[in-house]
Amino acid sequence: MLMTLIRRELLDNLMTFRFAAAVFITLLLVVANTVVLLKDYEQRLTAYNTATQESYQKLREERVYSRYAMDLIVHRPPNPLSIFNLGLDKQVGNEIAVYHAFVPTIWDAVKHGADNPFLNLFTSIDIVLVFQGVLSLLALIFAYDALAGERERGTLRLVLTHPIQRGHILLAKYISAMLCLLVPLLISLLLSIILLTTSTTISLHADDFLRIGGIVLTSLLYVSLFYLIGLCISAMTRRTSTALMLCMFVWGVLVLVYPNLILTAVDIVPQPNTQISAYHQIKQMWEELNREKKLFLRNDTVLGPLSRNGEDWGFRLKGGEYSFLRDEDKPSTLLYFYQSGFYAGKIKAESEPHVPLVQNYYGFHNREIVSTVNRTWLVRKPALEAIYVQPANLGQMLLKFSPVGLYDAATEAWAGTDLEGIQDFFSTVQRYRRAVVDYFYDKKIFESRQWFAADEGTADWDALPQFAFHRSDTDINAKRALPDMLLLLTMNVILFTVIMLIFIKSEV
Amino acid sequence: MWHIAKRELYDNLNSLRFALTMVLLLGLMLTNALVHLQEHPAQIKKYRASVAVALNALRSRTDLYDIAQRGPGLLYKKPSALGFCAEGGDTLLPDAVGRNDTVWEDGELKSFWTMKYPSTTPDLKNIRSDITKVDWAFIIGSVLSLIALLFTFDSISGERERGTLRLILANSIPRHTVLTGKFLGALISITIPFTLAVLMNLLVISMSSAIRLDAEAWGRLSIIFFLVLVYMCLFLALGLLVSARVRQSAVSLVILLLTWIVFVVFMPSVLPSIVSGFSPAPMTADEFQERIVQLDRELLSKYDNRLWADETLKTKQVRSEYVTRDAEIQERLNEKHLTQQIDQVQRARTVSRVSPVTIFQHLLELFAGTGFERHLQFLENAQRYAREYREFVIDTDNTDPESLHLIGVREGMSQKPVSPEAVPIFEDTFSLSRDFNAAAVDLLLLMLFVIVLLSGAYLAFVHVEV
């Protein structure tokens, strides 16, 4: 009996104009967007490859270790799944320097390969956004007359005269509608995957297909939720036109108004003022370090007179070619550091006695810097969390009152373009920085002659630990997406129960 | 006709959709006002502070060579008081042009001040998801257009379904009168909640002491109000057209919604992306840098052996020529780069005019004094000022008979102190007449859309079989 009902409903739905129109529009939008996004991804990938290559070469042109301050730069590759949900992939920086004088974070990153900046005026649309708008609308369009329409036409009375459980009628309607909604979802996804595979630059792994599967599953939950919302409205109203209008208002509020409204309104919430005090604390630590450095130089009978006002610019070594400074002072991201160095091509014999002293100084000073950075990080990390992450999380949380927010968050997590996915990259960079510092300690590079002079052997960059970043495993993506998916599921179940109750109680 | 309009109006006023519209619009407009009250004073404060810094730097110079070489520093874009009408992506556009620092120094020779067009990268520190700001352009362009469709989708097909259309047409009323009546009824019943919401929005904004709207701003607001009416007519006409063509009101709404989502939600973003993706891209930042270095080298190789030959007047002339030529070349390259970027965006904007909501957005941005068109106006102002500034330097130099009239060389220019008041000052201005000129195309296109859709609705209704 259930099968008969499902078949009837399926035919009813499939043969309609709305179904054809919706499938057509979904396909059109998804294909058009995939083409655009694919091109964009290819551009970003090319930019990434060029930038990585350039950094690699630039580093190898340096002959002393201390110059790595300028040229040890790592890049974040674009995420191929950003085609499904762009998330933060394009929004945050993708180029970061690795240096022992600061801990690299997402907020210190800059952007390589920026093309026409005016193009940022146009918002980009990803596949999830198309589904979010079109499929939810479609689900409501399928649902609004499911019960109210039958009641209006009187067919509901007819069906109920048969010995069928009311629950079965609902179930049949639900299953057939979901099958119908699967059609545009799957066809458009398949088309976009075909487009993706034709591209030579993009290569999807088996893992990626699992992630896409996760996105499909989330989309199903999302669409089903909207179908149930429509069914609920349909069960509560007597007339189809009222049901349709209510559905559209609900859609407008949930999809269009609420997400934008709440994120605009979140800005009114005053920000915590931890920034200034944390910044001063960090600056103080660095000034303390600077004082210690000057004290060290002043107490040293040879280096003291050689340094100019307590600075280490070349120590008047004969053969020093140039000195350089690498510093940052950015109160907004609590970044403060300062390190100077110099480069000597060939140190002359008369300065040779001073060289061990200079080596000793750099060994001392670099160790001090690393320990200062560790101390500032204890202040900086929680402050950055308070300034940037907490407001963002507040917005995300408020957004989750709408299914749109849940859907977006879950698909972002699957694609790995959410904040945590991006942070994965920066934690890798932080680990890499530690590895580099450890390597410098192990090989005693901080106090080596090659730190500043290129006359007795130059820096060996190939022996340096190599940077490699891999996206997190699928199970981690799944773990991040799971809470939101479970919430979607819970909402589905609750709504289904509510509809059941309303429908069973209702009079025909 | 008025009778029909009145009947429609009463029908609508008592309906659920009217109440929902009212709540929705009031909520949106109130949020919009509150956010504006929060953001605008901070914006103005920042603008004033940076302008003051630039002005102080300019006023502190009295040496003509210094004035010519270091220039007026950065020129800032004045924030619009009507930013709440259309945000226009102003955070993504640079808020200043000009140059702040020295580019090269060669002994006594220094590079000249040239206009630079810094590009703002969007805030990389921002880790929140991308949203559309709730401004009037969003409230009206997206939400109100949807509401307009919800008010008209059943106005004819619904009557036909219920059989009341037959009744109305049985009376001796011409069909066009019925249509006009329905149209006016719907228009008035949407205008009521919208006007109320707008009035509340403006009340909240003008009550605040931090924000002052002047007469011109109110004039612009009334133009915007008129534009909103035209825009609403467009969607009402579309609703009537589809409603007259289709037998069932449900089908009519489905068609309208799908049309709406394509034209209003997706087209404004998809079309520009496609067009800009496939149109010739401007120089990238790296290519631009390379080109600058290359041109510099070419120029230097032309002058190199003559620049420091001796200290005669002739050599000084060469130096002056070199510096001015360098500034000219830089400026030309900067402008070329900017034009290429602007052209790419303009192409995309032109094509996206297929969607009425984009036209409306452009118009709103234009009259609110935000967005891309306004940025172009700001660039124009800045370029005009740069010319004025250069002329001032040359004129001042010419009035000094002791000067050697060698612009760009310290000893060759007038040594007389320049009074700080004489130096021209940049002021970014809004011009309503220019805005009208720029708006002409969009305005006409919007009108065209309305007229085509209205006549379509009329034809469809005349041919309707009851």
Answer whether residue B61 shows pLDDT above 80. yes
Contacts of B147 in chain A (CB under 8 A): 252
User: Tokens 């709404």 sit at which residue?
Assistant: B253
CA distance to partner chain A, nearest, from residue B423 (Å): 32
Q: Which of B127, B147, B345 sits opposite A92 (nearest CB)?
A: B127
CA distance to partner chain B, nearest, from residue A31 (Å): 11
CA-to-CA distance for B185 and B255, rounded, in angstroms?
22
Assembly ipTM = 0.86
Element (H, E) at B109: strand B109-110
Other beta carbons within 10 Å of A276: 11
Answer whether residue A311 shows pLDDT above 90. no
- Is B122 exposed, middle or buried, given 0-12, 13-18 or 19+ CB atoms closer than 10 A? middle
Residue A272 confidence (pLDDT): 65
Is there a contact between A261 and B345 if contact means CB atoms under 8 Å apart? no
pLDDT in tens, B250-260: 788 888 988 99
Distances (CA, A) of B128 to A77, A274, B174, B387: 20, 20, 56, 41
Contacts of B31 in chain A (CB under 8 A): 261, 264-265
Is there a contact between A263 and B128 if contact means CB atoms under 8 Å apart? yes
Contacts of A238 in chain B (CB under 8 A): none
CA distance to partner chain B, nearest, from residue A447 (Å): 36
Q: Which of B87, B61, B91, B121 is nearest to B365 (CA)?
A: B87
Is there a contact between B266 and A125 if contact means CB atoms under 8 Å apart? yes
Amino acid at A265: A
With both helix axes pointing from N to C terminus, report the angle between A206-236 and A474-505 in degrees, rounded to the nearest 10.
20
Which of A369-373, B28-32, B428-432 is least confident? B428-432
Contacts of A21 in chain B (CB under 8 A): 254-255, 258
Distances (CA, A) of A219 to A174, A178, A223, A406, B265: 16, 11, 6, 11, 19
- Is B68 exposed, middle or buried, given 0-12, 13-18 or 19+ CB atoms closer than 10 A? buried
Answer whether residue B122 shows pLDDT above 70. no
Q: A239-249 burial by CB neighbour count: b if 16+ within 10 A, else e? A: ebbbbbbbbbb
For A344, the 3-state DSSP assignment is: strand
Is there a contact between B254 and A107 if contact means CB atoms under 8 Å apart? no
CA distance to partner chain B, nearest, from residue A95 (Å): 11
Is there a contact between A245 and B150 if contact means CB atoms under 8 Å apart? yes
Is there a contact between B34 and A134 if contact means CB atoms under 8 Å apart? no
Contacts of A115 in chain B (CB under 8 A): 281-282, 284-285
Is there a contact between A388 and B132 if contact means CB atoms under 8 Å apart? no
Q: Which of B342, B365, B386, B430 is nearest to B97 (CA)?
A: B386
For B70, the 3-state DSSP assignment is: helix
Answer whether residue A11 shows pLDDT above 90. no
Best interface-test mutation with B: which of A24, A118, A387 has the largest number of B CBs within 10 A? A118
CA-to-CA distance for A70 and A98, rounded, in angstroms?
9
Q: Which of B146, B249, B269 sits opposite A241 (nearest CB)?
A: B249
Q: Which of B261, B273, B282 sits opposite A116 (nearest CB)?
A: B282
CA-to-CA distance for B32 and A265, rounded, in angstroms?
8
CA-to-CA distance for A470 and A474, rounded, in angstroms?
12
pLDDT in tens, A367-418: 999 999 999 999 999 999 988 888 888 888 999 999 999 999 999 999 999 9
pLDDT confidence tier of residue A477, bands split at 50, 70 and 90: very high
Q: Which of A22, A110, A264 sits opposite B133 (nearest CB)?
A: A264
Query: What are residue B131's phi and psi, to 5 degrees?
Result: -135, 165
Is there a contact between A88 and B35 if contact means CB atoms under 8 Å apart? no
- Long-range Cβ contact pairs of A244-249 (< 8 A, separation 24 or more): A244/A144, A244/A145, A244/B250, A244/B253, A245/B16, A245/B17, A245/B150, A246/B16, A247/A140, A247/A141, A247/A143, A247/A144, A248/A140, A248/B146, A248/B150, A248/B253, A248/B257, A249/B17, A249/B20, A249/B24, A249/B150
Residue A408 confidence (pLDDT): 93
Residue B121 confidence (pLDDT): 66
Q: Which of B16, B38, B142 sits opposite A256 (nearest CB)?
A: B142
Q: Which two tokens stand for residue A403?
A: 């299914």
Q: Which of A119, A137, A332 sits opposite B261 (nearest CB)?
A: A137
Q: What percent of chain B has a predicted confidence (pLDDT) above 70? A: 98
Best interface-test mutation with B: which of A35, A86, A122 has the largest number of B CBs within 10 A? A122
CA-to-CA distance for B84 and B132, rounded, in angstroms?
13
Which of A7-21, A300-314, B195-209, B413-427 has the largest mean confidence? B195-209
Chain A to chain B, count of Cβ pairs less than 8 Å apart? 190
Is there a contact between A116 and B276 if contact means CB atoms under 8 Å apart? yes
Is there a contact between B16 and A245 if contact means CB atoms under 8 Å apart? yes
Helices (H), A62-165: 68-71, 127-130, 136-143, 148-153, 155-161
Contacts of A12 in chain B (CB under 8 A): none
- For residue A308, the cross-strand partners are A311
Which chain B residue has the Cα nearest residue A54?
B286
Which chain A residue has the Cα nearest residue B155?
A241
Is there a contact between B125 and A33 if contact means CB atoms under 8 Å apart? no
Per-residue pLDDT averaged across A74-97, rounded?
A: 90
| Torsion-angle region of B109 (φ positive above 0: left; ψ -120 to 50: alpha; else: beta) | beta
Answer whether residue A314 shows pLDDT above 80. no
Q: Which of B119, B132, B257 sits opposite A117 (nearest CB)?
A: B119
pLDDT in tens, B39-57: 899 899 999 999 999 899 8
Element (H, E) at B397: helix B371-399
**CB distance A418 to A480 below 8 Å:** yes
Best interface-test mutation with B: which of A18, A28, A226, A264 has the largest number of B CBs within 10 A? A264
pLDDT in tens, B288-321: 888 988 998 898 888 877 877 777 888 888 888 8
pLDDT in tens, B217-243: 999 999 999 999 999 999 999 999 999
Q: What is the mean pLDDT of chain B?
A: 87
Contacts of A87 in chain B (CB under 8 A): 129
Is there a contact between A122 and B344 if contact means CB atoms under 8 Å apart? no
Alpha-carbon dihedral sign for residues A20, A25, A30, A36: positive
Angle in degrees, CA A330, A334, A335, rounded to 5: 60
CA-to-CA distance for B165 and B177, rounded, in angstroms?
13
Does residue B47 lie within any of the structural domains? Answer: yes
Residue B383 confidence (pLDDT): 92
Q: Which of A116, A125, A264 sits opposite B31 (nearest CB)?
A: A264
Element (H, E) at B243: helix B215-245
Q: What is the mean pLDDT of chain A?
A: 88
With both helix axes pointing from N to C terminus, report the angle between B356-368 and B215-245 in degrees, rounded to the nearest 10.
170
Is there a contact between B124 and A123 if contact means CB atoms under 8 Å apart? no
- Is B209 exposed, middle or buried, given 0-12, 13-18 or 19+ CB atoms closer than 10 A? exposed
Is there a contact between A116 and B16 if contact means CB atoms under 8 Å apart? no
Give the domain extent around B43: 1-118+132-466
Q: Which of A290, A339, A342, A293 is nearest to A313 (CA)?
A: A342
Query: What are residue A339's phi and psi, to 5 degrees?
Result: -145, 135
What is the DSSP code string of A196-250? HHH-SS----HHHHHHHHHHHHHHHHHHHHHHHHHHHHHHH-SSHHHHHHHHHHH
Residue A114 confidence (pLDDT): 62
Strands A335-344 vs B96-98: parallel, antiparallel or unpaired? unpaired
Answer whether residue B129 shows pLDDT above 80. no
Q: Which two tokens stand for residue B272?
A: 């520009």
pLDDT in tens, A233-257: 998 888 887 888 889 999 999 998 9
Does residue B124 lie within any of the structural domains? Answer: no
pLDDT in tens, A52-73: 999 999 999 888 888 888 889 9
Which chain A residue has the Cα nearest residue B259?
A25
Is there a contact between A260 and B133 if contact means CB atoms under 8 Å apart? yes
Is there a contact between A107 and B269 if contact means CB atoms under 8 Å apart? no
Q: What percent of chain A has a predicted confidence (pLDDT) above 90? A: 39
Q: Which of B34, B121, B143 sits opposite A268 (nearest CB)?
A: B34
**CB distance B89 to B371 below 8 Å:** yes
Is there a contact between A116 and B344 if contact means CB atoms under 8 Å apart? yes
| Rg, chain B, Cα only | 29
Q: Which two tokens stand for residue B121?
A: 């990268």
Amino acid at A7: R
pLDDT in tens, B258-284: 899 989 988 888 888 888 878 888 888
Residue spans of the domains in chain A: they are 2-39+126-258+475-505, 45-122+270-473
Is there a contact between B128 and A29 if contact means CB atoms under 8 Å apart? no
User: Tokens 């070419």 sit at which residue?
Assistant: B298
Does residue B127 lie within any of the structural domains? Answer: no
CA-to-CA distance for B180 and B167, rounded, in angstroms?
17
For B325, the 3-state DSSP assignment is: helix
pLDDT confidence tier of residue B466, bands split at 50, 70 and 90: low
**CB distance A100 to A341 below 8 Å:** no
Is there a contact between B132 and A21 if contact means CB atoms under 8 Å apart? no
pLDDT in tens, A244-302: 888 999 999 999 899 988 888 887 777 667 778 889 999 999 999 988 888 888 888 77
Domain count, chain B: 1
**CB distance A128 to A84 below 8 Å:** yes
Which chain B residue has the Cα nearest residue A241?
B250
Which of A11-25, B114-128, B181-195 has the largest mean confidence? B181-195
Does residue B429 lie within any of the structural domains? Answer: yes
CA distance to partner chain A, nearest, from residue B276 (Å): 8
